[in-house]
A and B are shown apart, each in its own frame.
Chain A
Amino acid sequence: MAPDRRTEAAAGGAQVALRHLAGRAAAAAVGRNQRRAAQLAISGLLIYYVTAKSIQISDRSLLVLLNGLTAAALYFLMASGFTLLFGLVRVTNLAHGGVYLLGGYVALSVQRATGNWLAAAGLGFLFSGGIGILLYVLLRRLRGEGLRETMVTLGAAIVMADQALAHWGGVPSDLDPPAFLQGSLPLPASPLLYPKFRIAVIGLAILAGLALWLLLYRTRLGMVIRAGVDDRDMVSMAGIRVELVFCAVFVLAGGLAGMAGVAGGTYLSLAQGEDNRVLLASLIVVIAGGLGSLRGAGAAAVLVGLVEAFAQTHHAILSVLITFGTLIAVLALRPHGLFGRPVDARL
């Protein structure tokens, strides 16, 4: 499709959507549902703004889209483990960023020693799964005391960040992608090229999402995990060893974070402070999506990734403010996140 026709189609679509939204906002305002009216008005403004901006620079917006999806993929890998852990064990794991960093760094060391990316990724995955077990053991004493568990993970995060600094230093470093994922791929209907590895990261996240879905909804372990999210006392009453399941989820969450660390360490870089950045991004994703909801994590990862990429391209100065503004807006309108439900998150 020629760029001008594409632009026209986008403008037409946006116009229809805007008219629809305006009508609903007006109806809501008449019906005195002020919150709904405000929601609709805000989303209308966002749609207007995004299309108005992207119509001007169409090829760039394709890049923004892809960058956003790559970031979304990384955030989903982080957020899915985080949200599973919260949903089942009710632990807010603030050491998740530290696991990301350590997983990435271990993979880096393995790659420097063997030169093999796949071996590095595998060992990074295993190592961070092992950290998951450590965290499980550390938190065992405090089961059910949300605040103290969170504090312990915070302490673990401080220790991990300092140990990473001690062993791998403060200079940013990165992994080399495997040979078959080096170079770039031409994009369809565009003269642009896009790095293969970034596309592979998007694929990895989709695969991980599918695998998680299969695990949760098609296996016995998944059934137990889902039941545990709803009522873990009943599950242990049914004769299932919940502690073992908890441990498995810790390993799974750690492994996912490590995988994210390997991916992020390859296409971004590993450095001091990166753990906090990724932890914050995935926190935003998890909270905006609703704590404990895998579906919410997916949807919010895409939302946050796109908003972030868009803001970085068009408003570099205010980019982070826009990302956090999105979260604050989502939470102010929906206190439990997009797909969340009022779980007993009391501390």
Chain B
Amino acid sequence: MRASERWRRVAWPLAAACIGIVVVPITASDFVLLQIVIKSLWLGIAGASLAFLIGQAGLISLGQTAIFGTAGYMMAILTLSYGLNIWLAAACAVASGPVAGLLVGLLSSRSSGLYLMMLTLAVGVFAFFFGQQYQPITRGHTGFNGFESPVIGDVDFNERRPLFYVTAVAAVLIVVALRYVAGSPAGLAFRGLRDNRERLAALGYNPAAVTVAAFAVSGVAAGIGGVLSVWYNGAISPGSIDITRIIELLVVVTIGGAIRIEGAFLGALAVTLLRNFASDFTNRVETLVGAAFIIVVLFSRHGILGLWLEARSRAPQVFESLRGQLRPRSRAAAGPPAR
């Protein structure tokens, strides 16, 4: 019973995702596919790593760009500087994600709350300046350009559609994997960290170790996001991980809603749409993004997703009250017969 119920809860979203993967590239124009769909998918993957940390473990990390950037730079350096086989390089780059996550986690394992936020902010900015200043490895300000995605036979991953399939499948796999972790006993420990650090310690867990583990798990998603961003942009530079990017990631997750991992994709889509279409009307797109961000935060605890969930949970009540309003009337109509 429970198993079938759980299966049903998994099956519908999965089916929807599969249909989306088939239908979107057929219906969407090239511009929409490249500029909006693929972009919000890889931004959402990077955001999912943060949504997982915030929503599950209560760790507000501003250092995800450091992990993201490590993987992205790894991809670019291994192929462009060392001429490594592109698939081997991609594997190394993806693997560097959890390693970088582990390091960020180790650094911040002793702090929590606002202090963790500030410490990870320092780590994120440190990564930016490392990219900017340590020229021998990172090529400084200009970074790496002219990255070519792999080609297998007729399938060229520089093309829109193959890139879309790779990114979309990666996004679905990441959501499934992160939800699986969230549902496992480890996920319970992460939520313990979020809800009450002291009680988690009293239960025999080591909060610092749980923190490190959460960062390592999120590092997988951030690493894949970093690699895909290099495939998408064909370039990586310190500008890809500067403070505006750090803020963008937080904005994406907050607007979408961090209670569910899928919220990150919702937020990424919202921000990408706003950026693309608002620029037709005004030059002050950033003011609009900031204002939208403030409004969402002011009126919803969990972003757009929170608004939707609240509406859904209220729907039965609203329905009930509507029926309540209808009932007396019908009773009055069928009331005692007139004398």
Contact = CB atoms under 8 A, between A and B. Distances in A.
A321 B127 CA distance: 9
A163 B115 contact: no
Contacts of A335: 110-111, 115
B133 A345 contact: no
* B interface: dominant SS: helix
Given A92-B114, A291-B114, A336-B115, A162 B284 contact: yes
B290 A284 contact: no
A327 B110 contact: no
A145 B284 CA distance: 29
Contacts of B293: 151, 154-155, 158
B130 interface: yes
B290 A317 contact: no
B297 A148 contact: yes
Interface string B80-116: 0000000000000000000000000001001111110
Contact of A163 (B60, B133, B287): B287
A158 B247 contact: yes
Interface in A269-298: 276, 280, 283-284, 287, 291
B286 A328 contact: no
Interface in A294-347: 317-321, 324-325, 327-328, 331-332, 335-336, 345-347
Interface residues of A, number: 43
Contact of B113 (A152, A324, A331, A347): A347
B122 interface: yes
A323 to B, nearest CB: 9
B118 interface: yes
B304 interface: no
B311 interface: no
Contact of B287 (A162, A280, A325): A162
A319 B129 CA distance: 9
Contact of B290 (A158, A280, A336, A345): A158
Contacts of A138: 294, 298
Interface string A128-163: 000000000010011000111011101111110111
Given A141-B298, A324-B122, A328-B107, A155 B291 contact: yes
A238 interface: no
Given A162-B287, A331-B111, A287 B297 contact: no
A345 B114 CA distance: 6
Contact of B119 (A141, A142, A287, A320): A287
Contacts of A283: 118, 121-122
B123 interface: yes
Contacts of A327: 122
Contacts of B294: 138, 152, 155-156, 159
A81 B110 CA distance: 27
Contacts of A159: 286-287, 290-291, 294
A280 B243 contact: yes
Interface string B164-193: 000000000000000000000000000000
Nearest to B289: A158
B301 interface: yes
Interface in B109-145: 110-115, 117-119, 121-123, 125-126, 129-130, 132-135
Nearest to B140: A317
A1 interface: no
A166 interface: yes
Contacts of B117: 92, 150, 347
Contacts of A142: 297-298
Given A287-B115, A320-B133, A162 B286 contact: yes
B61 interface: no
A321 B290 contact: no
Contact of B110 (A166, A320, A332): A332
B283 interface: yes
A321 B130 contact: yes
Contact of B133 (A148, A287, A291, A317): A317
Given A324-B122, A324-B126, A346-B113, 18 more contacts: A138-B294, A141-B298, A152-B297, A154-B293, A155-B293, A157-B290, A158-B286, A158-B289, A280-B121, A283-B118, A284-B122, A287-B122, A318-B133, A320-B133, A328-B123, A336-B115, A345-B113, A347-B114
Interface of A: 92, 138, 141-142, 146-148, 150-152, 154-159, 161-163, 165-166, 276, 280, 283-284, 287, 291, 317-321, 324-325, 327-328, 331-332, 335-336, 345-347
6 contacts: A148-B298, A318-B134, A324-B126, A328-B122, A345-B114, A347-B58
